[in-house]
Structure 1
Amino acid sequence: MGHLHLDVFPRVLTARLLLLLCLFGLSAGTELSFVTCGSVIKLLNLQHNVRLHSHDVRYGSGSGQQSVTGVTAVEDSNSYWSIRGTNDAFCHRGTPVKCGQTIRLTHVNTGRNLHSHYFTSPLSSNQEVSAFGEEGEGDHLDEWTVQCGGSVWKREEAVRFRHKATDALLSVTGEQYGRPIHGQREVHAMSGPSQHSLWKAMEGIFMKPSEILAGGRDSSHPHTEF
């Protein structure tokens, strides 16, 4: 089993998330029933009740990239992810994310993208999931396709994320890490769908659709649920 080492950066609320809170924290809006591009959200694995999480802790085996885990804590600021388009397909702020759309999930506090590849995960020996890139820019292995049942990703819906390059699904099966991230669950990717690969959008900043879509002036506003 691979070991993890802790980087020197403190686990505090970074300038990126603090800026978002200052800009959007007091904003209000009507309830959105779907997830939109540009939103900053937390994702809950329904089977294991953990939120998708990352931090400045790197894998001691496999790729050596920034680790991605699942945490039970609701309030942890390291569990926020920004929904973005890909280099080939822009994701206009406030537009609903469609079922079958390919997106990137960028970790707000570190600026690295949710990523996978054919390295072996340290605990379960499934496919490793990491966070990769700098300031939101990585490579084609950062792309995930949203699998849901209708035309758009509904907030109350259980969805799956299929890694575009390897066809594996973002999953949690319950393996727990020891020090220095004791109790956090391993996040990995698996080839087949199961209850372990179901996720739901939870807390965050949900960008409202722009009136441009209805032929009017752009008046995009966020809806917050911290």
Structure 2
Amino acid sequence: MAHLNCAVLPRFLAALLLLLSWIFGLSLGTELSFVTCGSVIKLLNIKHNVRLHSHDVRYGSGSGQQSVTGVAAVEDSNSYWSVRGTSDALCHRGTPVKCGQTIRLTHVNTGRNLHSHYFASPLSSNQEVSAFGEEGEGDHLDEWTVQCGGSVWKREEAVRFRHKATDALLSVTGEQYGRPIHGQTEVHAMSSPSQHSLWKAMEGIFMKPSESPPGSRDYSHPHTEF
């Protein structure tokens, strides 16, 4: 089987992204100034310069659920999350996410949702954040409210995610794990807003607004990894 050399690979990936944008009606990061439902994105904690990350490694304490961490690497495919609606409020594909809207963030590679509850986080003893559910379906503890300054979630804007059930904010304060996830940063939730709870949408594919019928479901999303 032929292998792509290093010089050809970036051009191949660029061509693949352009093809996907044509098939799925996606924006590759240049046209849309806001985040839309159905988009697959990476989220950067701007204080600690780490991207929200998960993987099939469970916590050894607390809930024992799938761990959620922060990683410095830009290219890691385990940092992609799909922006989705809740079971009570659909998020129609391609529509801008509003400030104050409640969403779910589904980890693309494992199909589990960003989740929180009153377990203590392993390193800082703040509120644990985990990934929970199967194939994108979990429970009401997967719901997060987007806090931003205008009418919609703008891509260049730093936003916060408030956990709807516990009122805590998705945060990073810099504690780092040892083995088996050496160097990855603890992600947890905290009650008070601070610089540690500011996030920005980064790399990804963004669904363009469309004329989809109002009753269409939002649960499908591209699983392509880049």
Could you say whether these structures have the same fold, taking a TM-score greater than 0.5 normalized by the shorter chain as the test?
A: yes
Give the counterpart letter for 2:84 in structure 1: R
Q: Could you tell me which residue of structure 2 aligns to residue 186 of structure 1?
A: 186
- State percent identity of aligned pairs: 91
SS of residue in 1 equivalent to 2:196 = helix
Residue 43, structure 1, aligned to residue 43, structure 2: yes
Q: List runs of 5+ in structure 1 lacking aligned partners.
A: 1-19, 214-221
Deviation at 1:211, TM superposition (A): 3.8
TM-score (norm 1): 0.83
CA distance, structure 2, for counterparts of residue 120 and residue 21 of structure 1: 40
Q: Deviations over 1:152-210 (max 9, x none)?
A: 00000000000000000000000000011100000000000000000000000100001
Q: Deviations over 1:101-139 (max 9, x none)?
A: 000000000000000000000000000000000000000
Give the counterpart letter for 2:56 in structure 1: D
Contact 1:24 1:205 in 2 (8 A): no
Q: Aligned Cα RMSD in Å?
A: 2.1
Q: Could you tell me which residue of structure 2 aligns to residue 13 of structure 1?
A: none
Q: Deviations over 1:28-50 (max 9, x none)?
A: 74610000000000000000000
Give the counterpart letter for 1:62 in structure 2: G
SS of residue in 1 equivalent to 2:56 = strand
Residue 165, structure 1, aligned to residue 128, structure 2: no
Q: Could you tell me which residue of structure 1 aligns to residue 3 of structure 2?
A: none
Q: Could you tell me which residue of structure 2 aligns to residue 72 of structure 1?
A: 72
For the structure 1 residues 181 and 206, does the alpha-carbon distance in structure 2 shift closer, same or farther, using more than 3 Å as the test? same
CA distance, structure 1, for counterparts of residue 37 and residue 211 of structure 2: 15
CA distance, structure 1, for counterparts of residue 182 and residue 137 of structure 2: 30
Q: Could you tell me which residue of structure 1 aligns to residue 52 of structure 2?
A: 52
Give the counterpart letter for 2:121 in structure 1: S
CA distance, structure 1, for counterparts of residue 188 and residue 19 of structure 2: 33
What does residue range 24-173 of structure 1 map to in structure 2 within 5 Å?
A: 24=20, 29=27, 31-173=31-173
Deviation at 1:24, TM superposition (A): 2.0
Give the counterpart letter for 1:24 in structure 2: L
Q: Could you tell me which residue of structure 2 aligns to residue 9 of structure 1?
A: none
CA distance, structure 2, for counterparts of residue 92 and residue 105 of structure 1: 14
Q: How many residues align?
A: 197
